[in-house]
Amino acid sequence: MRALIVDRLAPDYAGVSLQDIPVPTPGPGEVLVKVRAAGVNFPDLLMTRGEYQLKPPLPFGLGMELSGEIEALGPGVEGLSLGETVVGGAKLGGFAEYALLPAAAVRAKPAALSFAQAAGYGAAYLTAYVAFVRRANLQPGEWVLVHGAAGGVGLAAVDLAKVLGARVIATSASDEKLAVLQREYAPDAVLNVTRGFRERVKEITGGGADVIYDPVGGDVFDESVRCIAFDGRLLVIGFTSGRIPQVSVNMPLIKGFSVVGVRAGEYGRQFPERGRENQAAIWKLAEEGRVKPRVHAEVPLADWREAFELLAGRKVIGKAVIRPDL
């Protein structure tokens, strides 16, 4: 089978190649999935350079989330059947024609989602759910400022915040992307961060945002500190800008806000029962058709570099997915 493999850590994906490797055989408690789509995430790109917290030994396969059909069942697997359409978190090996996963890591694909939508859904919406529900205790009617709103985790946050009854301000550095967000997701306001945003946020909200969702960091974080409401929650999601910001602790003291770290996967590992509840909640929303995951591009496996560069170049609105069957 064809699989995307990292043989060495290097810039510009120089250590990544599409290789022919044997199809794996599922062991006890494992399933083999014929991959129909796999979502591309920033951690995938970082792992090619050894810049992500997960550092598997070389060589390793890339691809952290996928959808497809069960091809084979390992010994002892119950509750799943051959040909069943599923979604799963692979952590490694999703960018391939077949992927081996623990049976516990797959679930039925919601009928409301296409393979491409399902492949890019889990990580982004889980992050947004843990951020808003578990970490920020978001309440209906509160103002939420979502940075990087056109990216995968940002767009999921816009979508989910609206479902939760919040009022949403979506930001981006692109007027074109903001126009798409306005048309397809109807946030209460959109702002281009390149023109500054703190005064407009305070004007729109009547004083400041109750919750700020920040996967960008850098200058965006710095300005966010200046437009958060008293008792607000500034959610640290990531640092796609490249700069990890710092905050003088007198600012949270004076303005009475909290800086809250969000790691959805680690939250589930620390609190397994809540982790299962989180997963059940986001997939229930998908099954009910209450959310609208957006697929920007479906790229053949042979053209994987195109998908990576779309994400790295900030050209994606929603998610890019790799399709081994194209």
Name every residue whose Cβ is closer than 8 Å to that of residue 15 and which is 6 or more positions away in sequence: 6, 7, 8, 9, 48
Rounded to the nearest 5°, which phi and psi values hold at 285? -60, -40
pLDDT for 42: 87
Mean pLDDT calculated for residue range 303-314: 94
pLDDT at 308 over 90: yes
Alpha carbon distance 235, 214 (integer Å): 6
Name every residue whose Cβ is closer than 8 Å to that of residue 251 and which is 6 or more positions away in sequence: 225, 257
**pLDDT tier at 54, thresholds 50, 70, 90:** confident
Task: Using DSSP, state whether 295 is helix, strand or coil.
Answer: strand
**pLDDT tier at 90, thresholds 50, 70, 90:** confident
pLDDT for 242: 84
Mean pLDDT calculated for residue range 153-172: 97
Name every residue whose Cβ is closer than 8 Å to that of residue 309 and which is 6 or more positions away in sequence: none
The maximal CA–CA distance of the chain, rounded, in angstroms, is 61
Burial 279-289 (b: 16+ CB within 10 A, else e): beebbebbeee
Mean pLDDT calculated for residue range 169-182: 96
pLDDT at 129 over 80: yes
pLDDT for 231: 96
pLDDT, averaged across the chain: 96
Alpha carbon distance 192, 90 (integer Å): 35
- What domains sit in the chain, N to C, each tagged with a CATH number? 2-121+282-323 (3.90.180.10), 125-266 (3.40.50.720)
Alpha carbon distance 131, 79 (integer Å): 31
The fraction of the chain above a pLDDT of 70, given in percent, is: 100
Q: pTM of the full predicted structure?
A: 0.92
